[in-house]
Amino acid sequence: MDIAAANNAADMKLLESVVNGNAELTDNEFLFLGSCVAAAGLSPFLLPLELTEVLVPVAAAIPAAVGVNCEYVGKISVANGKQTAAVTVQAAAECEAILAGAERSKAVTPLCAAIAVVGMAGAIFGEIFHEIAHHFGVPMVSEFYLIAPFVSVLSAVVAGLSYEETQSLCKRAIGTGTRRFAKSSDVGRTWLSETEMVISRTSKYKEKVRKFALGALPAPLLAAVLPGSIEFKAIVCAAAAAGQAHFYWANAEFEVSKALDVVAFKMRAAAISDTYGNQGARSGAILPFTSAAGAICAVGAAGAVELLSIVQNVGLQSILCAGFPAAAAMFAGAASVSKARAEVNAGAAKVAAESFATAQFQSNTGGAITSGVADTMRGSIDMYRPMVNAVVNPIKTKIRNLFNRSPPPLASA
């Protein structure tokens, strides 16, 4: 955790270094502010006292106005960055809430799979019990053999419904925020009207009903098609239903893992956007101070010119006239740098937020953002690879050391 925090701080410092390299005063700004200071400093030498008393406050007020303008632009950038981060965090929280619902819907699938296995075991036990009863001549009711397959099929159907609900919620978690942060050109290709969305929801509902009906048929149909006694058919039906329940369980886990990866990607993007928003707020925190300090310098310049009639030395008059405009120019330069930092951080927060529109299932290989079963399997293999290497590498080392320690062959006579 300390290493991660240190890396994050290093990233922030890197961004600040980039901003500092670009957040310098432009030549025009430097020339403009320098001209104000030079005009104030040279006015006692070149202008009469009456004009100097007017020029010096103006020369101090211009940098103060520049500082106020920097505060205005910088505070807007800070507000944009914070608002962008806020809506990004809100969208990420919505994704996490939807994913929690998917996890809740998926939670019943392991139980259904276990009950289906119990039903299969009950069918097998029923076959054994039938053999024992037949051996002792005890009659058995044929409906007894339908209990275990019925339990297994019912568990498979519930698992199927749970999988459908889990899949639907996972898709919502993956898609939440995509259109919200997508560009207009991207949204235009996937735009649906209200009527189209109503038809789409109706189609999805019909698809759920169809899948529910189909989920209850495979196991009984397989048992009915295969020849054999009713005891054998009960075992086949229960086993098929158990396999079906485990299939739904595995698919539900796959959908949740895919959604977990995407939601984690979105949460990371939201955290990065929030970090940059806070960094921009930190960079813009000095702006009110620079504006106030610039205004004080302008007021101070207006008061300083009243002392020119007392100071008879022209050099001291020049220093007195140039001091407050120079300080105002310094505060204006600091405000310009702070404004540039706030703008860059707001832009970084915007870029991090826009990654919501491209958030797909990202494989654990660290490669391109892709999706599909192949990437899931590749990610699983990459997870197992360090474990395999931890076991195989010491064995390789021991074998290599064993060969290195073997005695050299005898030299020929």
**pLDDT tens profile 88-145:** 899 889 999 999 999 999 999 999 999 988 888 887 776 666 666 555 555 555 556 6
Contact in structure between 331 and 67 (CB atoms under 8 Å) = yes
**In this predicted structure, which of 13-22, 152-161, 290-299, 398-407 has the lowest mean pLDDT?**
13-22
Contact in structure between 240 and 218 (CB atoms under 8 Å) = yes
Contact in structure between 84 and 217 (CB atoms under 8 Å) = no
Higher pLDDT, 232 or 380: 232
pLDDT at 381: 60
pLDDT at 12: 62
When pLDDT is cut at 50, 70 and 90, the band that residue 408 belongs to is: low
pLDDT at 8: 63
Give percent helix, percent strand, percent coil of the chain, each to the nearest 5.
85, 0, 15
Q: What is the pLDDT of residues 373-390, one digit of tens each?
A: 445 555 556 655 666 666
pLDDT at 199: 66
Contact in structure between 180 and 91 (CB atoms under 8 Å) = yes
pLDDT at 20: 55
**In this predicted structure, which of 1-5, 69-73, 230-234, 342-346 has the lowest mean pLDDT?**
1-5
The SS3 call for residue 364 is: coil
CA dist 151 and 144 (Å) reads 12
Average pLDDT score, the chain: 77
| Domain definitions of the chain by residue range | 2-358, 370-402
Helices H / strands E in the chain, number of each? 13, 0
Q: The whole model's pTM is what?
A: 0.71
Q: Which two three-digit tokens encode residue 128?
A: 């054994």
The length of the chain in residues reads 413
Please give the average per-residue pLDDT across 293-298, as a whole number. 89
pLDDT at 110: 92
The pLDDT of residue 261 is above 50: yes
Higher pLDDT, 35 or 138: 35
CA dist 126 and 134 (Å) reads 12
When pLDDT is cut at 50, 70 and 90, the band that residue 252 belongs to is: very high
Burial of residue 106 (CB within 10 Å: 0-12, 13-18, 19+) is: buried
pLDDT at 340: 85
Contact in structure between 55 and 298 (CB atoms under 8 Å) = no
pLDDT at 142: 54
When pLDDT is cut at 50, 70 and 90, the band that residue 279 belongs to is: confident
Q: What is the pLDDT of residues 168-208, one digit of tens each?
A: 899 888 888 777 776 655 555 555 565 666 666 667 666 76
Q: What is the largest CA-CA distance in the chain?
A: 134
CA dist 276 and 352 (Å) reads 9
Higher pLDDT, 411 or 76: 76
The pLDDT of residue 45 is above 90: no
Higher pLDDT, 230 or 9: 230
Picking from 331, 116, 347, the residue whose alpha carbon sits closest to that of residue 216 is 116
Please give the average per-residue pLDDT across 304-314, as a whole number. 81
